[in-house]
């Protein structure tokens, strides 16, 4: 495996870093200072600047206005964009739209591309992926899906309750996972549907309040009640919902890892700058070994995380499923990011806890990363299954 970063990719990543310094980080500082949330017109203004700078939709093909980068090329670019929580939104490589574009690019038919994918790729619309249900429905275990789609004449009628649907407040369409054949094997009995927001039968119940600053687009709880959709609303084929969701979630987990690595790297830079300039007990904080080791551990762990991301991205780019490798990267990077942010906050002392720096906001935001797109325990289960399959004793005869 050759993990050297091609020159053109390094150039793009550098342009993204500069764009963040010039356009994104000043807005981030303003939002923090004034304690206000990102608003749609602020985001649209930022997006117009990203487009003008040629830094729009890194994963979308050039003919759709994107940068046409491959899975193997995106890690440094996504990391650069992830240096601020606003960066991926500005460049149009934030979750869930980025994962949804990837899914639609793979499976949407010509009509669905025209109707759903192209406006999304241009940044004219927002999307949501609606799979998780409140208990007793499907969370970690997708086999527990309760949302049902039943045939009514030629159409489908969907009924169910979902929650934590990111972007639900602003989404122009929902990608809904529902059971279409309750008698089939759970992995072959569900289907993905594309539902425009204004379809009768979609009720947003609430935006679920979460730890930390509110995200643009929210994470909603919603009801589907006799939501009528035509057969043309099916994404891929009937019964393929689980397989399609898996092919969305693998790369989406990895792109989360890339973006969060950027955030943790910037935290390390902020903490190092603070520790170099701040004195205690007769010298700069950086002269104390306990601080040096926190910086060293953070730098080492981030580098390990990058290599795990690159390996999994390389495998995906070769057409492999890389199920185990993406699980390993997801567990390790989400936990590394948590530890790095915790250490950086500690190094910055009271200033780290204050909202004068973005660290406390990031610390809150990063916690959920160990839960969404598969909790660490679930990914460890995937890795353990692989280990046991490879090395477990054969069953007794």
Ligand X SMILES: Cc1cc2nc3c(=O)[nH]c(=O)nc-3n(C[C@H](O)[C@H](O)[C@H](O)COP(=O)(O)OP(=O)(O)OC[C@H]3O[C@@H](n4cnc5c(N)ncnc54)[C@H](O)[C@@H]3O)c2cc1C
Q: Which residues bind ligand X (CB under 6 A)?
A: 96, 129-132, 139-140, 164-166, 210, 219, 368, 371-375, 377-378, 381
Q: How far is the CB of 26 from ligand X (least distance, A)?
A: 26
**Smallest gap, in angstroms, from Cβ of residue 274 to ligand X?**
28
Nearer to ligand X, 141 or 269 (CB): 141
Using the structure block, give the residue that is written with the tokens 């589907």: 224
Nearer of residues 187 and 372 to ligand X, judged by Cβ: 372
Q: Which CB sits closer to ligand X, 284 or 375? A: 375
- C-beta closer to ligand X: residue 16 or 85: 85
Nearer to ligand X, 146 or 278 (CB): 146
Q: Can you count the helices (H) and strands (E) in the chain?
A: 14, 10
Per-residue DSSP letter, 215: P
Least Cβ distance, residue 166 to ligand X (angstroms) = 3
Is residue 239 classed exposed, middle or buried when 0-12, 13-18 and 19+ CB atoms within 10 A define those classes?
A: middle
| Dist. CA 62–CA 9, nearest whole Å | 15
Strand pairing report for 202-207 and 219-229? antiparallel
Q: Are 105 and 117 in contact (CB under 8 A)?
A: yes
Q: In the bound complex, which residue of the shown chain has the CB atom lying closest to ligand X?
A: 139
Do the beta carbons of residue 155 and residue 139 sit within 8 Å? no
Residue 297: name the closest of 357, 245, 240, 338 by CA.
Answer: 338
Q: What is the nearest approach in angstroms of ligand X to the Cβ of residue 10?
A: 31
Q: How far is the CB of 144 from ligand X (least distance, A)?
A: 8
For ligand X, the closer of residues 58 and 99 by Cβ is: 99
In the chain, DSSP assigns E strands to 127-130, 148-152, 155-166, 173-179, 190-196, 202-207, 219-229, 234-235, 279-280, 283-284
Q: How far is the CB of 373 from ligand X (least distance, A)?
A: 6
């Amino acid at each position: 495996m050759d993990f050297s970063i091609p020159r053109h990719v390094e150039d793009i990543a550098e342009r993204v870093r500069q764009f963040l310094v010039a356009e994104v980080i000043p807005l981030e500082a303003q939002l923090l200072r004034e304690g206000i949330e990102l608003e749609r017109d602020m985001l649209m203004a930022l997006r117009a600047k990203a487009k003008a700078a040629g830094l729009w939709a890194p994963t979308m093909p050039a003919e759709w206005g994107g940068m046409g980068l491959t899975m193997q090329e995106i890690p440094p670019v996504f990391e650069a964009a992830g240096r601020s929580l606003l960066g991926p939104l500005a460049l149009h490589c934030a979750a869930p739209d980025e994962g949804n574009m990837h899914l639609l690019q793979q499976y949407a038919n010509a009509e669905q591309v025209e109707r759903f994918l192209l406006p999304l790729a241009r940044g004219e619309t927002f999307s949501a992926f609606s799979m998780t249900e409140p208990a007793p429905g499907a969370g970690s275990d997708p086999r527990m899906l309760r949302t049902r789609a039943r045939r009514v004449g030629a159409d489908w009628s969907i009924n169910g309750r979902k929650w934590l649907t990111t972007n639900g407040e602003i989404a122009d369409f929902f990608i809904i996972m529902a059971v279409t054949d309750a008698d089939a094997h759970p992995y072959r009995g569900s289907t993905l549907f594309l539902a425009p927001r204004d379809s009768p039968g979609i009720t947003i119940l609430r935006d679920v309040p979460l730890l930390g600053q509110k995200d643009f687009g929210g994470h909603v709880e919603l009801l589907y009640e006799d939501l009528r959709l035509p057969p043309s609303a099916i994404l891929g084929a009937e019964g393929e919902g689980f397989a399609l969701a898996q092919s969305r979630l693998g790369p989406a987990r990895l792109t989360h890892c890339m973006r969060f690595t950027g955030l943790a790297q910037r935290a390390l830079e902020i903490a190092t700058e603070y520790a170099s300039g701040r004195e205690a007990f007769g010298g700069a904080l950086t002269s104390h070994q306990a601080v040096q080791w926190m910086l060293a551990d953070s730098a080492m762990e981030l580098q390990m995380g990058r290599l795990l991301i690159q390996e999994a991205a390389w495998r995906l780019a070769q057409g492999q499923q890389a199920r185990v490798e993406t699980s390993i990267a997801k567990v390790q990077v989400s936990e590394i990011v948590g530890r790095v942010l915790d250490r950086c906050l500690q190094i910055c002392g009271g200033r780290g806890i204050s909202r004068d720096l973005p660290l406390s906001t990031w610390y809150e935001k990063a916690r959920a990363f160990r839960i969404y797109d598969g909790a660490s325990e679930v990914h460890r289960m995937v890795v353990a299954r692989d280990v046991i399959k490879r090395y477990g004793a054969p069953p007794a005869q």
